[in-house]
Amino acid sequence: MRPVAAGSADRAPQVTEEVNVKRILSAVAAAALLFWAASAAAVQEAKIIKSHQDFGDYRVFYSVFNSEFIKPEIARNYQLIRGKDRAFVNVSVVKKDGSKGLPAEMSGTATNLMQQSRPLKFQEVRDGDAIYYLAPLRFDDEETLTFDVNVTLPDGRTENITFRRRLERD
């Protein structure tokens, strides 16, 4: 028979307690990892940039892009100024059934983070069967702008689109 060491009866609850603490810490770590993974997936999903909005039978597409993406001949024909510090707000209206661009009316504003607002003046551009509307604007490098655009649809209804973009010089 082995002799029982002094205090070994006291150690048994301590060992059990250490095992329980390790299990709890492992469970907390696993939960934290699961939460982090779910958060990362949500952030990835939030990075998807919305580029259209539906209003009844109509779909309104919108984007903002650097003016140098416009073909030089289209810029000449429509007297559009191209440059690294210039962008275009592009809006088009189509029927959800997939038809080509439809005539519409646009107005709007671009507002920076300091709440300085400037009007957007849209110009209709027809390129073959496509109809779209461009509003030129100047911007500072890495400027974030909120665009508020009113679109009068072919059926006469006026709808509003608001979106935010960060613009950078290429």
Asked if pLDDT for residue 31 goes beyond 50, the answer is no
Candidate from 18-22, 107-111, 136-140 with smallest mean pLDDT: 18-22
pLDDT tens digits for range 149-161 = 999 999 999 999 9
What is the value of pTM for the model shown? 0.68
Q: What is the pLDDT of residues 42-53, one digit of tens each?
A: 433 444 578 999
Q: Nearest 5 degrees, angle CA 91-CA 133-CA 110?
A: 65
Which pLDDT belongs to residue 42? Answer: 40
Question: Do 152 and 145 meet the contact criterion of CB atoms below 8 Å apart?
Answer: no
Question: Of residues 70 and 124, which shows the higher confidence score?
Answer: 124
Handedness of CA 154, 155, 160, 162 (dihedral sign): negative
* Residue 45: burial class (beta carbons within 10 Å; 0-12, 13-18, 19+): exposed
